[in-house]
Structure 1
Amino acid sequence: MPELKLILDEAEREGIIARQAADRLLPFLIARGVKVDQPSPELHRPLAPFSDTETPSFVRGFHDVLITIGIIVALAGLWGIASIYAVLPAIVVLAEVLVRRQRLALPAVALTIALAVWTASSAAQWLDDSLSFVAIGGNVALQYTLAFPVVLGLFYLLYRVPLALALTIMGAAVVFLQLVLRALGWLTGDPLFEVNHPLVLSIIAIACAVGLFALAMTFDLRDPLRRTVNSDVAFWLHLGAAPALLYSVISLAGLSGGTLAALQTVSFRTPVVIATVIALMLIGLVIDRRAFVTSGLVSLGFAVYGIFRQGDARVDTYIYITLLTVGVIVLVIGTGWMPLRRFVMRRLPVAIQEKLPPA
């Protein structure tokens, strides 16, 4: 039955089932008369009302947690007693065993993050630069950022880890930003274009952040019921898109790129931060992405911290007030997510509601 085999092959490519399982499952299903019919519209509806549609697929059980702890400890020890170049073969060997053969999700995430850290450290060492700061717009920055989509892209092609694809896309967005700045610097004859034209830099950064969010929504709309690997890729892209949007808007508002010092001292601009975070929360409700909302909460805390610091409250008081404010917001959104989302969704056109996760 060719249609059934194609479906199983697609499931294997998406990492839903192992190759050995697909080979054994095909004759098993055929022997029991399973056939593929034209999908009914009912198949696209949830079997039951959603109580939580954003449970990351890499959170499966304590077995994965135990192995992930072992990965972190082992790689940290290897990094300490050997050179940085000994870590890469260890990551590849572990990925072959834990990702390709055993298909463990949380260890795959840990190995991807380890590879990203290794890439950052190696690129900084090769370029004789510091990990703490790499100036944007220069040759060093372009070479530094170029390493991420190349290395992580190869890792994704080998092991199909959703986080690797998301980091590849985000790295490519940063490389695109660098290339645009280099092109503008060459056209204007100004080698410090990004320093002398911060407004243009902020606008380009916002365009890249919006593009990243649009790409995340592309993956999300392919799987509104959150059942395939597209949802995992969208999860990680949203996690990066929200702070990118927030800090690019802060930069456009004149907050020096959204640094902590600016947020603490420019109290009359912090309402811009709060308004932006509220807008991100509204977007997160509409698309049903708690990760999108969560990634802006830390910046909201810094903004509220800046407001209270300009008042008469003592140091210990405004720190606690900041924590209390952020905590209350998190609790209100967390406990009332579904009612709030239903309230917002009822005010959207039906055509848009049908493309989004059900409320």
Structure 2
Amino acid sequence: MTELRSILDEAVRRELISSEAGGRLLPFLIERGVAVAGATPAMAAEEQAWSDTETPRFVRGFHDVLITIGVIVALVGLWGLAPLYAVPPAIIVLSEILVRRQRLALPAVSLTIALFCWTFLLMSRVFTPWTSEIGAELTQFVAGFPILLGIYYARYRVPLSLALAIISTLALVLTLLLRLVQSLSGNPAFFVDHLAVLAAVSLVCALGLFATALYFDLGDRLRRTTRSDIAFWLHLGAAPALLYSTVSLLSLGEGGRIFDLANASARTPVVVATVAALMLIGLIIDRRAFVTSGLLSLGVAIFSVFRHGSATVDTYIFTTLIVVGAIVLIVGTGWMPLRRQVLRALPAAISQRLPPG
């Protein structure tokens, strides 16, 4: 099965078939006993082990790492010496060589991030969205991201570029919703006076992002196609979006503000409960990336608890590190046993659609 999967992956890379067709074709061929000469039971065991792990496929060897270092150093040097408009041609040339021809995964990620950063700087120079009022310039600022990243994905098929295009599209929808509510209210400072509405609209968009990630994830439960890679990046964005919008909505009475952890001490129970819920969701869908995204906020919340005690600065800093580290180790080492317990508690109709435990 490993060899058969490799052949189908190669067909996808050469654009002979789509990634979705490859994902559907593999179980179809396996069910009918199709195999490649030389396949052994050991290979089947290896395939099963691979299916049970969350394996991002953007690092395939140190060759990719070496090339990526060269890409980053060259682009940083170009960024410092040349005008801003000289960077996109360099990104395109490198993408044609490293992504479209050589199919190098990690350089593709670095080039996608470079394009995202360039788009951010370009939009910041053209528009000035950093005001308290949610106006047209904020919408125009966000609109550039899905357009450029979508074009990049259409040409190079990098999963991260599609994930960023989806995330920025939902951000664009969020700004349009906020502008619509603001316009209907007739008050330019509506969201300053009604933070609960701002948090609720943000939570709706965060749930939309999470649902999109699940759409890609559940469409490839054995994680053999690029749908799984796209879901990986979407989950990285969905977890903090869900965390901060939920915490802001639940703690507005305690002075909470969206995407603001400066007053986290009053909101520590809310943050801890929300992170615990995200950890449970991550276990169910078998996404460690989903869990990892909430650990920073958990650390800030625990830090605030010790800070308001009688301990010294060094004590509560290192105590926070020990607590967060212990949680990571417990969840990390006991991931599969914990997940099996959770899957047993779920209805069969749900557990059969999830990655096997």
Common fold by TM > 0.5:
yes
CA distance in 2, matches of 1:248, 1:69: 35
Task: Report the equivalent of 2:156.
Answer: 159
263, 267, 270: which one aligns with 1:269: 267
Task: Report the equivalent of 1:18.
Answer: 14
* Shift, 1:346, TM fit: 0.8
* Shift, 1:258, TM fit: 3.7
Secondary structure at 1:59's aligned position in 2? coil
Matched, 1:251 2:269: no
Task: Report the equivalent of 1:308.
Answer: 306
CA distance in 1, matches of 2:319, 2:32: 49
CA distance in 2, matches of 1:172, 1:338: 34
* Shift, 1:39, TM fit: 4.5
Where in structure 2 are the equivalents of 1:1-359 lying within 5 Å?
A: 16-18=12-14, 39=29, 41=31, 47-49=47-49, 52-127=52-127, 133=130, 135=132, 137-252=134-249, 253-254=251-252, 255-263=256-264, 267-359=265-357
CA distance in 1, matches of 2:292, 2:155: 31
CA distance in 2, matches of 1:195, 1:138: 14
Amino acid at match of 1:337: W
CA distance in 1, matches of 2:122, 2:143: 12
CA distance in 2, matches of 1:214, 1:226: 17
* 1:246-295 alpha-carbon deviations (Å, 9 max, x no partner): 000111122211423122xxx24211000000000000000000000001
CA distance in 2, matches of 1:290, 1:158: 30
* 1:33-86 alpha-carbon deviations (Å, 9 max, x no partner): xx999656588x985345852110111100000000000000000000111111
Aligned 8 A contact 1:274 1:303 in 2: yes
Structure 1 unaligned residues grouped into runs of 5+: 1-6, 24-34
* Shift, 1:356, TM fit: 0.5
Larger mean CA deviation between 205-214 and 48-57 belongs to 48-57
| Closer/same/farther in 2, CA of residues 310 and 95 from structure 1, 3 Å limit | same
Task: Report the equivalent of 2:22.
Answer: none
* Shift, 1:145, TM fit: 1.1
Aligned 8 A contact 1:53 1:225 in 2: no
Please, what TM-score do these two structures have when normalized by structure 1?
Answer: 0.86
Amino acid at match of 2:126: W
Q: 4+ residue runs of structure 1 moved beyond 4 angstroms?
A: 7-12, 35-43, 49-52, 133-136
Aligned 8 A contact 1:134 1:140 in 2: no
CA distance in 2, matches of 1:87, 1:211: 33
CA distance in 1, matches of 2:172, 2:27: 45
| Closer/same/farther in 2, CA of residues 79 and 36 from structure 1, 3 Å limit | closer
Structure 2 unaligned residues grouped into runs of 5+: 18-24, 34-43
* 1:205-225 alpha-carbon deviations (Å, 9 max, x no partner): 111101110110000011011
| Closer/same/farther in 2, CA of residues 38 and 333 from structure 1, 3 Å limit | closer
* 1:85-111 alpha-carbon deviations (Å, 9 max, x no partner): 111110011111111111111110000
CA distance in 2, matches of 1:134, 1:119: 19
Aligned 8 A contact 1:50 1:358 in 2: no
CA distance in 1, matches of 2:231, 2:147: 20
Secondary structure at 1:223's aligned position in 2? coil
* 1:170-192 alpha-carbon deviations (Å, 9 max, x no partner): 00111101001111111111122
CA distance in 2, matches of 1:41, 1:185: 55
CA distance in 2, matches of 1:212, 1:118: 24
* Shift, 1:200, TM fit: 0.6
CA distance in 2, matches of 1:41, 1:136: 58
Secondary structure at 2:106's aligned position in 1? helix
CA distance in 1, matches of 2:300, 2:181: 33
Secondary structure at 2:134's aligned position in 1? coil
CA distance in 2, matches of 1:355, 1:136: 44
Secondary structure at 1:217's aligned position in 2? helix
- Root-mean-square deviation (Å): 2.6
